[in-house]
Amino acid sequence: MGRSQSVPRGDDPRFGADADDTDCPILHVDMDAFFAAVEVRRRPELRGQPVVVGGVGPRGVVSSASYEAREYGVRSAMPTMRARSLCPRAVFLPPDFSQYAAASRAVMQIFRDVTPLVEPLSLDEAFLDVAGARRLFGRPAEIARLIRARVAEQEGLTCSVGVASTKFVAKLGSTRAKPDGLVVVPAGQVLDFLHPLPVAAMWGVGERAAESLRRLGLSTVGDLAHAPVAMLRNALGPAAATHLHELSWGRDSRPVDPEQVEKSIGAEVTFDTDVADPAAIRRSLLALAEKVGMRLRRAGQIGRTVSIKVRFADFRTVNRSRTLSEPTDVAREVFETAWALFGVLAPSSPIRLVGVRVEGLAAAGSTPQQLALGAPEHGWRDAEAAVDAAAVRFGRSVVRPASLLDGGGGARTEIPPRP
């Protein structure tokens, strides 16, 4: 998605909550400043204050900022040090992903009480297809009002909703509705809504693509829509050109898919200071493999490809991967592969970030597992499953690899798993 700050806010009666929602069965619901809002809900004394959630170390990044903090220019993905300089009086809090996941589950259940066609995009947003819910709950805009009221009453949180004929336009609508608002884009006025927007607001247009389009004199979505497709291909490549051209005319045939399957599961850490010690990197890779293995087993998934990501002090980033002969959910196997990949990479420069990911996922049990010659019938998988059970009852720190007892190499900032 393009940058949300590129979408203009403000009231426009053509796209207000009472606009014509005929043929607009798609809702995009986006929680407002979700992580920060959950923290304020836990600490009512922070209401009305600028609150920033994110990594609190020198390499920390802002995950969420309350609207009071945003008035000072604080934004998600901004370095925490920059946020502190912009808003020194803000309350800075480390993230508590278990709390956000619990709040997300409660909110998603409210959505599913209205329609089974819910496609979560992350912890704090989802698409809904409410075409089949009209008989019970009314028109799409009425359903949007109902959802917003239930989220506020039951969870003490606010959300913004876009109502439209397609997912792309509904997503832009919810962005325009923020905070705590409702935008309806009538099916007959999609181009009136889209074409004045800057190209940076479009799905898939990042800073580089937006700059490439501006160099061609294409500053709005309308400019892009009327540009020759051949010119777009030269600037963006054939696939991106076709995709953006279709979206610029409001054409988006993707249905709401409640059965989306996770394509990969991973975790990564950013070090407080650049690390050159291989032993510290090894501990961090082991800790990441433990997290990934646990998440695979919780999701009932196994994966065939293990990949690592390494970011150096100069922000140069490399990725390496290896496909296994058999899919796995065993942290030990993930770690051994990750460490072997790192050994082949043999970096000589200090490292800022490392990550481990398992790809090529399938449901556990869908692929027969063949024991290696001489391998015991019960081994690491059973041991790690026992650790999972102990962690549920007593906490994850009860059983850990001995090499992680010293803290795992000083890593501080973890990317959370998707729900």
- Provide the annotated active-site residues: 125
Half-sphere exposure of 150 (CA within 13 A, CB side): 16
Residue 88 DSSP SS3: coil
Q: In whole angstroms, what is the distance from residue 182 CA to residue 146 CA?
A: 11
Alpha carbon dihedral 88, 93, 97, 103, in 10-degree steps, equals: -90
Q: In whole angstroms, what is the distance from residue 129 CA to residue 113 CA?
A: 13
Q: Which two tokens stand for residue 212?
A: 């490439």
Query: Do you find a cis peptide bond into 186, omega within 30 degrees of 0?
Result: no
How does 28-40 read in b/e, with b if 16+ C-beta sit within 10 Å? bbbbbbbbbbbbb
Q: Is 223 annotated as a binding residue?
A: no
Residue with tokens 């009666």: 13
φ and ψ at 137, to 5 degrees? Answer: -120, -5
Closest CA to 130 of 107, 160, 163: 163
Q: In whole angstroms, what is the distance from residue 354 CA to residue 349 CA?
A: 13
Residue with tokens 């393009």: 2
Residue 105, number of CB atoms within 10 A of its CB: 11
Amino acid at 63: S
Q: Which two tokens stand for residue 244?
A: 């953006």
Name the β-bridge partners of 321. Answer: 307
* Sheet-wide strand order for 91-93: 62-65, 51-54, 91-93
Q: Are 296 and 276 in contact (CB under 8 A)?
A: no
Q: Is 30 annotated as a binding residue?
A: yes
* Rounded (to 5) percent helix, strand, coil in the chain: 45, 20, 35
Residue with tokens 């970030």: 353
Q: Are 102 and 78 in contact (CB under 8 A)?
A: no
Q: Return binding residues.
A: 30, 124
Q: Return binding residues for Mg(2+).
A: 30, 124
